[in-house]
Amino acid sequence: MKQRAAAALTWDGTRFPAQRLPAKARAFLGKSTPPAKLAALIAAQNLAELRICWVPRLRGGDNVLTAPFTTSDGKRIPFRLVRTVPFGDILGAVYRRV
């Protein structure tokens, strides 16, 4: 069964604490997915939907998402943007697997 994952991220891919989001953005996001579980879902290609709240900040450093997640067959997983919801300066986005 394909699963859904959620995360709050800064523009450079650093995880942002979901508890610091406004209430409506937290409700849109739902429960955040821990990084290890997200990596496992991507590796197993068992991810149907991604919900991301993009937070307008840059963190920099070693923890940004500069390298791709690895899948079991080494191929990219195609997702498309299906919906966006603005929460002030935060953008909620729903991506679904093609």
Question: pLDDT tens, 55-94?
Answer: 998 876 665 555 556 677 777 778 899 999 999 999 999 9
Instruction: Report yes or no: 7 and 52 within 8 Å, Cβ to Cβ.
Output: yes
5 part of a folded domain: no
Q: Which residues contact 64 (CB under 8 A, 6 or more apart)?
A: 12, 13, 14
The total domain count for the chain is 1
pTM metric for this prediction = 0.82
51 part of a folded domain: yes
pLDDT at 72: 72
pLDDT at 68: 59
1 part of a folded domain: no
22 closest CA partner among 59, 58, 53: 53
Q: Identify the domain containing residue 28 by its residue range.
A: 11-59+69-89
55 part of a folded domain: yes
28 part of a folded domain: yes
Helices (H), ranges, the chain: 23-29, 35-43
